[in-house]
Structure 1
Amino acid sequence: MSEVQSPVPAPTPGARSPGISRAIYGMPMFTALFVLDLGAAVSWYVEGLGFASPFTVPGSSGRALLHLLRWQFQDLLVRPAPSAVTAGTGCTLSFAAVYDEVPVDTLWITRDLTTSDPDGNVVVFTAARPPGSQEPAFSKQVERAEQAVVDCPNPESGMSLRNTTQIGGQLAHCDAWRQDRPSWLG
């Protein structure tokens, strides 16, 4: 088990953001984001969303790589795009938030804020909702899905894959499901 504590606070109204971390840590995961206008993108993330820019690395052509971060482990490496960026073809960036920072309750027991950056990348801030605030309709769908799960043993690998696919109200047969599985599953 890791000794590093998550910076995400408990899901309660009034929870406080842990703030921007100035700690030096190994980034276990980060997103490299290519943008058309480095200055506009950095301004949008820093001034609009509260990220910090702890350092910049100059590039050989004068262009830079910028490190942006919000909470610990919410790192972005922002680089100039080698060519024009087409809005909406980028990526979706998801960040943890505290309950009171985001306005929209979802069916899947979170509260979200969704927006787009100047290059059309979708940015989502998600906070868990407090225990006991489940949506009854979503809870029933999850219960039905759990009841519909069957094991589909794969004779070649010996692994058992879980199948929740329903076709016409009936659970799909494991053999039919195997025909549609991705090739990397073997």
Structure 2
Amino acid sequence: MEFYPMPLFVKLSVSNMENSLCWYKEVLNFESVFELPGKDGKIMMAHIRGKKYQDIMLVAESEQKDMSSNGKGIVLNFSVEDVDLYSKKASEARAVVLEGPIDRPWNARELVLKDLDGYLITLSMGIDRKKNFNDVINQVESEL
């Protein structure tokens, strides 16, 4: 596992660390970079990673006492190679699928999931990888 400074990462307060770690590993193919046990031996913090720079820190809810509501208005977006493969994995794991896979006008195929603590996760892949940014914007504007 490669170690590098993280210029930005997301920290999520989770109600059940063991279940959350399992969900992120099983549904999203994340791997543990580091797990920090508390005095009781239970994991209180876990640094997990999907692809390079797709890092999340899961923190046991009891360690984040001042967190009032999980993720209201926040959606984590991850770029993936094959949304349909993740859709199949999510279905097999009985994950909550809110939408998709669906093709968006901005040249993306997306799958929207809800994790065990209510955080929204969008998995996104480009549909036509030959289109550049201006091509996509022109297409969207022409459809308005």
The TM-score normalised by the length of structure 2 is 0.69
The counterpart of 1:50, out of the listed 24, 29, 49, is 29
**Counterpart for residue 75 of structure 1:** 55
* 4+ long deviations beyond 4 Å: 60-63, 83-88, 132-137
Percent of aligned pairs with the same amino acid: 27
**2: distance between equivalents of 1:61 and 1:92?**
32
Is the 1:109–1:135 Cα contact (8 Å) retained in structure 2?
no
Gaps of 5+ in 1: 1-21, 143-186
The counterpart of 1:138, out of the listed 132, 137, 140, is 140
Q: Which has the higher helix share?
A: 2
**2: distance between equivalents of 1:64 and 1:50?**
21
| Structure whose CA Rg is larger | 1
Gaps of 5+ in 2: 85-100
Per-residue CA deviations over 1:7-51 (Å, capped at 9, x if unaligned) read: xxxxxxxxxxxxxxx211111111000011111111100112111
Greater relative contact order (CA < 8 Å, ≥ 6 in sequence):
2
Aligned-pair Cα RMSD in Å: 2.8
Q: Which has the higher strand share?
A: 2
Alignment of 1:1-186 (within 5 A): 22-59=1-38, 63-82=43-62, 89=72, 91-98=74-81, 100-102=82-84, 103-130=101-128, 131-132=130-131, 138-140=140-142
The TM-score normalised by the length of structure 1 is 0.55
Residue 129 and residue 40 in structure 1: after superposition, are their counterparts in 2 closer, same or farther (change >3 A)?
A: same
